[in-house]
Amino acid sequence: MALIDNLALGFDTALSATTLFWCFAGVTLGTFIGVLPGVGALATVSMLLPLTFHLDPTTALVMLAGIYYGAQYGGSTASILLNLPGTPSAAVTCLDGYPMAKQGRAGVALAMTTVASFFGSCVAIVIIAKFAAPLAEVALRFGPAEYFSMMVLGLLAAATLAQGSPFKGVAVVVIGLLLGLVGTDVNTGMQRFTFGIPDLFDGLNLVAVAMGLFGVAEVIANVGKVRTVSGDAGRITLRSLIPTRDDVRRSWFPMIRGSGVGAFFGILPGTGSSIAAFMSYAVEKRVAKDPSRFGKGAIEGIMAPESANNSAAQSAFIPTLTLGIPGDAVMALMLGALMIHGIAPGPRVVVEHPQLFWGLIASFWIGNIMLVILNLPLVGIWVKMLQIPYRILYPSILLFICIGVYSINNNAFDVLQVVVFGLLGYGMMIMGFEPAPLLLGYILGPLMEEHLRRALLLSRGDMTVFLTRPISAGFLTATFLLIAFVTWSALRRRRRPAPAMVPGA
């Protein structure tokens, strides 16, 4: 039983005192920033990236991953109590979570979303443990043509399935690809887009780009807007957490369906937990006997998206670790962390670093159990966190950003990059661009160029190589189907008025 051996190795790594400590630190911090509206997992992971340079790669990834899935647990708290999503992926939870709170059922909603999150994570972890290694074996046979086509699929999926105009989404990805090219070209040693500035010869600083685009831009958009919970709504007793028998009965199938939808979008490279949550809500509404209950406090409407976003957050590790293609923007940062530690992402990670791979998976189990303990009995503490005024929070966030970026190379030029990307990020928000896919493009830019060059060198300039190799053709067919689907749904939406979107989504 190879799986048992592997898991044993994993638990051996994950149960060491240091790993346990950093796992706990990660999930606690993740829940904290998930609860707070206006601070997302993306901003936090990029803020803490410099700190993890001092840890060994396994521990670093365990902690960063903990922040990510911990935030999925915490995200629903503000959605339910304030009608304001703590994380983008919890935006759908507002639709039925806030009405439940208004009906005096906030406790039930908070408890049940924790259960849904745990369930979704467990399903996804089983899928990772079972399928990641075989998938990596298939991926070992990929050549440059396959990689290029897969990246096209992933980037287009990230660009078009996000909210807003698909053209804008693709434009953001292309901007990201271009930014990724800044620096020295690996093939010829030529300086590209560096404007003669020596600090740019190694490319833009990943942490500065991420913090500017997400951390700083989020702060600019949120100052003066974020509300805090008033004393009365913040009182959650343990007794109020207990669901009725009817709640439990109604929750089973939405959780199972939500986990499935989440796992699908998690594995699909480029798409992450926000899309999964929206899709699973749409699925629930479609299969429901009485769709009119949705939006008025239907428990199905919180169970499905919460299990979906956790399931997606966990299964996004599958493409990231086995193919080296990030599942979403946070995963792009994880890949960045791996590269900084000198580990080349790709199918060889499973074989060459089994301790890292299986240790991470084992830490998911442990982290999720910690999260249930953190979120069920201690929910009152997290609700109290919503009383911290943003006026204190945002200068602290900006300070952490500045110090974090500065400490990487002790170079003030990196902090200047944060200013530029903060401006770019906020400008993109104003122009209605979704900035997250930019990071995917930025990470994949150099890789994509490299694989395109190699594929065409091997085929002697014959473009049909992408269609004659079966796996590559498969990816391109999927890309074509995706574009057809997006066009079809855009046309359908034009005929019928679009449903009102969640505020702040």
- Collect all residues with Cβ–Cβ distance below 8 Å to 53 and sequence separation of at least 6: 60, 340, 341, 408
Q: Could you give the C-alpha distances from 477 to 151, 263, 390, 481, in angstroms and in order?
A: 13, 21, 47, 6
Under rule CB under 8 A, residue 22 binds another protein: no
Closest approach, Cβ 153 to another protein, in A, equals: 16
Nearer to another protein by Cβ, of 30 and 425: the residue is: 425
Q: Which residues, at least 6 apart from 466, have a Cβ–Cβ distance to it below 8 Å?
A: 145, 148, 149, 455, 472, 473, 476
Q: Which of 106, 170, 335, 443 binds another protein (CB under 8 A)?
A: 170
Q: How far is the CB of 160 from another protein (least distance, A)?
A: 12
By beta-carbon proximity to another protein, the closer residue of 155 and 334 is 155
- Candidates 427, 490, 501, 503; binder of another protein (CB under 8 A) is 427
Q: Of 90-98, 220-228, 312-320, 343-351, which part binds another protein (CB under 8 A)?
A: 220-228
Q: How far apart are CA 389 and CA 108, in angstroms?
A: 26
Burial (CB < 10 A; 0-12, 13-18, 19+), residue 388, is middle
Residues 399-418 that bind another protein (CB under 8 A): 399, 401-403, 406-407, 412-413, 415-416, 418
Residue 434: closest CA among 264, 267, 183, 214 = 214
Crossing angle (nearest 10°) for helices 41-48 and 57-82: 150
3-state secondary structure of 342: coil
Interaction of residue 500 with another protein, rule CB under 8 A? no
Between 344 and 416, name the residue whose CB sits nearer to another protein: 416
Residue 11 vs 413, nearer CB to another protein: 413
What six digits make up the tokens of 287? 């299969």
Among 141, 245, 286, 460, binds another protein (CB under 8 A): 460
Question: By CB under 8 A, what part of segment 190-219 binds another protein?
Answer: 190, 192-193, 216, 219
Q: Which of 4, 188, 292, 470 binds another protein (CB under 8 A)?
A: 188
Q: Which is nearer to another protein, 362 or 444 (CB)?
A: 444
Q: Give the helix ranges, DSSP H, for 182-244.
A: 206-210, 217-222
The answer to whether residue 497 forms part of the interface with another protein (CB under 8 A) is no
Q: Is the sign of the CA dihedral 82, 373, 247, 279 positive or negative?
A: positive
> What is the rounded distance in angstroms from the CA atom of residue 104 to the CA atom of residue 214?
35
Question: Which backbone phi and psi does 466 adopt, to 5 degrees?
Answer: -70, -20
Q: Which of 92, 139, 177, 277 binds another protein (CB under 8 A)?
A: 177
CB closer to another protein, 20 vs 181: 181
Q: How many residues at the interface with another protein, by CB under 8 A?
A: 60
Q: How far is the CB of 446 from another protein (least distance, A)?
A: 9
With CB under 8 A as the contact rule, the residue among 20, 126, 220, 473 that binds another protein is: 220
Find the binder of another protein among 1, 2, 4, 463 (CB under 8 A). 463
Beta bridge partners of 191: 184
184: β partners: 191
Decide the pairing of beta strands 191-192 and 183-184: antiparallel
DSSP letter at 496 equals: S
**Can you tell me which of 11, 453, 471, 486 binds another protein, judged by CB under 8 A?**
453
Two structure tokens written together for 54: 């001092």
Per the listing, tokens 């359908």 go with 492
Q: Could you say whether residue 388 binds another protein (CB under 8 A)?
A: no
Looking only at residues 223 through 282 of this chain, which bind another protein when binding is defined by CB under 8 A?
223-224
Angle at 67 between CA 64 and CA 379, to 5 degrees: 160
Q: H/E element holding 459?
A: none
- The distance of closest approach from Cβ of residue 169 to another protein in the complex, given in angstroms and rounded to an integer, is 10
Residue numbers of the site for another protein (CB under 8 A)? 51, 54, 165, 167-168, 170-171, 174-175, 177-178, 181, 185, 187-188, 190, 192-193, 216, 219-221, 223-224, 390-392, 394-396, 398-399, 401-403, 406-407, 412-413, 415-416, 418-419, 422-423, 426-427, 430-433, 448-449, 452-453, 456-457, 460-461, 463
